[in-house]
Homo-oligomer: A and B are copies of this chain.
């Protein structure tokens, strides 16, 4: 149990609703190809502005997942 190896991906998710939704969109999209995601860390929070209001949040994440032993 002690000697797991994890790999870390860097993703950017976006949402016009909230920072949390941008995080969840990135992880939901990654779920299609990556099993065993374990944690994330927010690296940067940015967004686009249109007509003087926030048009979308863009959150850059590091996502860690377990490398299965082959």
Seen from chain A, the residues whose Cβ lies within 8 Å of a Cβ on chain B are 2-16, 18-20, 23-33, 37-42, 44-49, 52-57, 60, 62-64, 67, 69-70
Among all A-B residue pairs, the 6 with the closest Cβ atoms: A31-B52, A8-B10, A6-B12, A42-B45, A5-B29, A37-B49
Name the distance in Å between A9's Cβ and chain B's nearest Cβ: 7
- Please pick, from B2, B26, B49, B62, the residue contacting A39 in the complex, using a CB distance under 8 A: B49
Identical chains in the assembly: 12
Closest to A47 in B: B40
**Contact present for A38 and B42 (CB under 8 Å):** no
Name the distance in Å between A3's Cβ and chain B's nearest Cβ: 5
- Return chain B residues, CB-CB under 8 Å to A15: 2-3
